[in-house]
């Protein structure tokens, strides 16, 4: 089963301010340059995430063996992570498992534990979590490549202390598993010193491109998901993304169309899945697209301030909250519909009010047909309004097709970075906020940043109401 991309409604033949064939042709030199850069960087090991579909076999075996060893000892698998290490596991879980997984009795989860993802340091979060579960019946997965991520490591320190107080240091060792770098950073040092089980994130793979490493594979496997299937799907998409012909390479074409859209003032990328299973794909995509492409400087040091703002929506829910803006508001968006051909369940509307024309037409119709019809109708309305849009379709949401989709977005993001002439793999804007936090807490080595913060002008009380 192959993912499809329909970009007819991005073109001037379909929408009033769409992309012309001449605009596509004009970029042939840029396309060739970007194609070469993708090949060269991969060959040089600068896109190590592109090899993940082929080199995780050992990790898959180790993960599955560990799951079989541990799953019967625990009630819940708890992810301590932030950014990609939280968004990826949530997206995969929502896509491939029952939407109310944690509410199902264990036998309906085929003996697998519940999944919780703790991705924020709101002080109420952990307290209420401990009131919800038996915290000593959980396995805590600490995910941090550096081991210095303040949010994740603070959660870990709280949980480590709690476990040691409740079950003792020896028993606590078996309730913590780390996912981190093989050599450098605090977390690998701690894991080895404390005797925690650990899994390795390949050193050259960045956080938001790490879902197909143990970062995402371990939580998925603990919920019974076919992690090998995710990698098989990603490998299939990788083959499609090796095509030099832009018209045969879906991820490159997706990036190119968005790049041209940006030059035409389309600075917002709307992701609108028409399936609850794909709801959190929008959240995962938002980080990938925003953090990778939102940059102040290009590769030549020139100030460019580029990037598209990703917006997450859900069809049909947000037809009643956002589509009015998309249809009649500013011409500054590209809407991406994300649909499925076949849903996993079917439910039919009863013929209850046949005598009421405004309801009777629904009788005997399935929700499957209703949601698909609403997707098609919204696409029509948006297109009629002259707004750029495209549709990505999965034949069915499976491990393989989801692997295709995740990998597709990763390649598209990298290719968009090449077209924009930026580094899609760093995040200096994020680092500035991290460094300011460290300085405010007096972390050694950040004295200069602390002096900078202290020298900042005070806020004027006049403008505080």
Query: Cα(108)–Cα(119) distance, rounded to whole angstroms?
Result: 27
Query: CB count, 10 Å around CB of 86?
Result: 24
The reported pLDDT for the residue numbered 432 is: 86
- What average pLDDT values come out for the chain (465 residues) when binned by 10 residues? 97 95 95 96 94 97 98 98 96 98 98 97 96 97 93 96 97 98 95 97 93 98 98 98 96 98 97 98 97 96 97 96 96 98 97 94 96 98 97 98 98 98 92 88 91 92 94
Angle at 244 between CA 242 and CA 250, to 5 degrees: 65
Of the candidates 158, 159, 149, the residue with the CA atom closest to the CA atom of residue 179: 149
- Which residue among the candidates 41, 264, 434, 450 is catalytic per the annotation? 434
Task: State yes or no: is 320 an active-site residue.
Answer: yes
The reported pLDDT for the residue numbered 429 is: 85
Asked whether the beta carbons of 66 and 179 are under 8 A apart, the reply is: no
The reported pLDDT for the residue numbered 148 is: 87
Task: State yes or no: is 252 an active-site residue.
Answer: no
Query: Cα(159)–Cα(180) distance, rounded to whole angstroms?
Result: 18
Query: Cα(313)–Cα(320) distance, rounded to whole angstroms?
Result: 11
Asked whether the beta carbons of 403 and 229 are under 8 A apart, the reply is: yes
At a CB cut-off of 8 Å and minimum separation 6, what does 111 contact? 71, 72
Hey, which bits of 290-438 come out as E strands?
A: 295-297, 303-306, 309-312, 333-342, 389-396
The reported pLDDT for the residue numbered 156 is: 97
The reported pLDDT for the residue numbered 30 is: 96
- Which residue among the candidates 145, 211, 266, 291 is catalytic per the annotation? 291
Query: Cα(90)–Cα(118) distance, rounded to whole angstroms?
Result: 10
The tokens describing 85, both together, are 């290490």
Asked whether the beta carbons of 211 and 406 are under 8 A apart, the reply is: yes
- Which residue among the candidates 320, 345, 459, 462 is catalytic per the annotation? 320
Of the candidates 242, 211, 269, 224, the residue with the CA atom closest to the CA atom of residue 56: 211
Cα pseudo-dihedral 275, 279, 281, 284, rounded to 10: 170
Phi and psi angles of residue 143, each rounded to the nearest 5 degrees, phi first: -115, 110
Query: Cα(256)–Cα(412) distance, rounded to whole angstroms?
Result: 9
Query: Cα(365)–Cα(381) distance, rounded to whole angstroms?
Result: 22
The reported pLDDT for the residue numbered 425 is: 94
The reported pLDDT for the residue numbered 17 is: 87
Phi and psi angles of residue 297, each rounded to the nearest 5 degrees, phi first: -115, 150
* Residue 78, helix vs strand vs coil: strand
pTM score: 0.96
The reported pLDDT for the residue numbered 430 is: 84
């Amino acid at each position: 089963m192959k993912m499809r991309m329909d970009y007819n409604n991005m073109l001037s033949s379909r929408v009033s301010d769409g992309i012309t064939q001449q605009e596509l042709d004009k970029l042939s030199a840029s396309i060739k340059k970007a194609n070469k850069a993708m090949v060269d960087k991969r060959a040089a090991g600068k896109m190590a995430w592109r090899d993940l579909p082929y080199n995780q076999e050992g990790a898959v075996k180790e993960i599955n063996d560990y799951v079989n060893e541990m799953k019967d000892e625990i009630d819940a698998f708890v992810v301590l992570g932030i950014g990609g290490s939280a968004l990826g596991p949530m997206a995969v879980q929502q896509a491939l498992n029952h939407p109310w997984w944690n509410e199902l009795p264990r036998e309906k989860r085929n003996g697998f534990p519940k999944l919780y993802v703790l991705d924020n340091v709101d002080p109420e979060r952990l307290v209420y979590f401990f009131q919800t579960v038996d915290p000593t019946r959980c396995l805590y997965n600490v995910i941090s490549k550096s081991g210095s991520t303040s949010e994740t490591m603070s959660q870990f320190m709280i949980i480590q202390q709690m476990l040691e107080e409740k079950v003792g240091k020896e028993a606590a060792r078996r309730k913590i598993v780390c996912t981190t770098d093989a050599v450098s950073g605090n977390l690998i040092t701690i894991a080895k010193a404390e005797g925690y089980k650990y899994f390795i994130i390949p050193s050259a793979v960045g956080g938001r491109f790490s879902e197909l490493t143990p970062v995402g594979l371990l939580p998925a496997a603990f919920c019974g998901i076919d992690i090998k299937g995710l990698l098989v799907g990603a490998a299939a998409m990788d083959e499609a993304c090796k095509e030099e012909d832009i018209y045969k390479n879906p991820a490159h074409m997706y990036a190119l169309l968005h790049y041209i859209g940006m030059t035409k003032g389309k600075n917002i990328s709307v992701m609108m899945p028409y399936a609850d299973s794909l709801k959190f794909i929008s959240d995962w995509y938002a980080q990938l697209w925003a953090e990778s492409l939102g940059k102040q400087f290009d590769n030549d040091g020139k100030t460019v301030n580029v990037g598209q703002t990703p917006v997450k929506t859900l069809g049909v829910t947000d037809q009643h909250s956002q589509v009015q803006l998309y249809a009649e508001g500013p011409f500054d968006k590209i809407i991406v519909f994300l649909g499925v051909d076949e849903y996993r369940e079917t439910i039919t509307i009863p013929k209850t009010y046949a005598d009421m024309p405004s309801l009777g037409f629904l009788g005997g119709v399935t929700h499957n047909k209703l949601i698909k019809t609403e997707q098609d109708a919204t696409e029509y309305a948006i297109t009629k309004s002259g707004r750029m849009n495209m549709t990505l379709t999965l034949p069915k949401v499976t491990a393989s097709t989801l692997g295709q989709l995740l990998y597709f977005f990763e390649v598209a993001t990298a290719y968009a970075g090449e077209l924009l002439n930026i580094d899609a793999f760093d995040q200096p804007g994020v680092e500035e906020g991290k460094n300011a936090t460290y300085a405010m807490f007096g972390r050694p080595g950040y004295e200069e940043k602390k002096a900078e913060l202290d020298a900042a002008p005070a806020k004027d009380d006049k403008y505080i109401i």
